[in-house]
Amino acid sequence: MNLPLPVLQGKTPSVLSVEEARAMQRMNISRLQYAVDIFHKRTNERVTKRRIEEIKHKEKTSLVAISFEKSNFVLVRRAHKKGYKLPFNYVGPRKIISVKSNWGYDVNDLVSGKQETIHASRLTPYRADGKGTDILRCCFPTHNIV
């Protein structure tokens, strides 16, 4: 162990000249500056590495809003109550009445006429079969529509 004071080592203290004391101070200050520089360099490397990891993760997992327009038909994701194997199902089709933002849409239920604001992450585009009968099947499932 390197103790700074000779008294703590059990030796008699030696008297330093002013020049020697200033030289020791400069040496200690330069050691301290070097240690701080190393600390900042390592911290900067860790922060840069973490930012790169966050950017890569965000590129893989970030949500991209699907852009819907007024009068588009969509399905709305709803959560099941406990006990179902799958946590969500999609209900609809619903018609988009107005676009509030990139993430918010006012939709209208075609059966009940109820209007609600839905976040874009809960919407998926409705795809019809080309005959136009899918909307009727979704709205009136008990009717036998061909």
- Considering only CA atoms, which of 106, 112, 123 is closest in space to residue 71? 106
Output the pLDDT for position 143: 43
pLDDT tens, residue order, the chain (146 aa): 565 666 676 767 667 788 888 999 999 999 999 999 999 999 999 999 988 888 888 777 766 657 888 888 888 888 777 766 767 788 878 999 999 887 889 999 888 889 999 998 888 888 766 554 455 455 545 444 33
Output the pLDDT for position 135: 52
Q: Rounded to the nearest 5 degrees, what angle is found at the Cα of 106, between the Cα atoms of 100 and 109?
A: 170
CATH number corresponding to 73-139: 2.30.30
- Considering only CA atoms, which of 91, 95, 92 is closest in space to residue 72? 95
Domain boundaries, the chain: 15-62, 73-139
Q: How are strands ordered across the β-sheet holding 104-109?
A: 115-119, 104-109, 88-99, 73-79, 123-125
Phi, psi torsion values for 126, nearest 5 degrees: -90, 130
Output the pLDDT for position 69: 86
CA 128 to each of CA 88, 99, 145: distance values in angstroms, whole numbers, following the listed order? 21, 22, 14
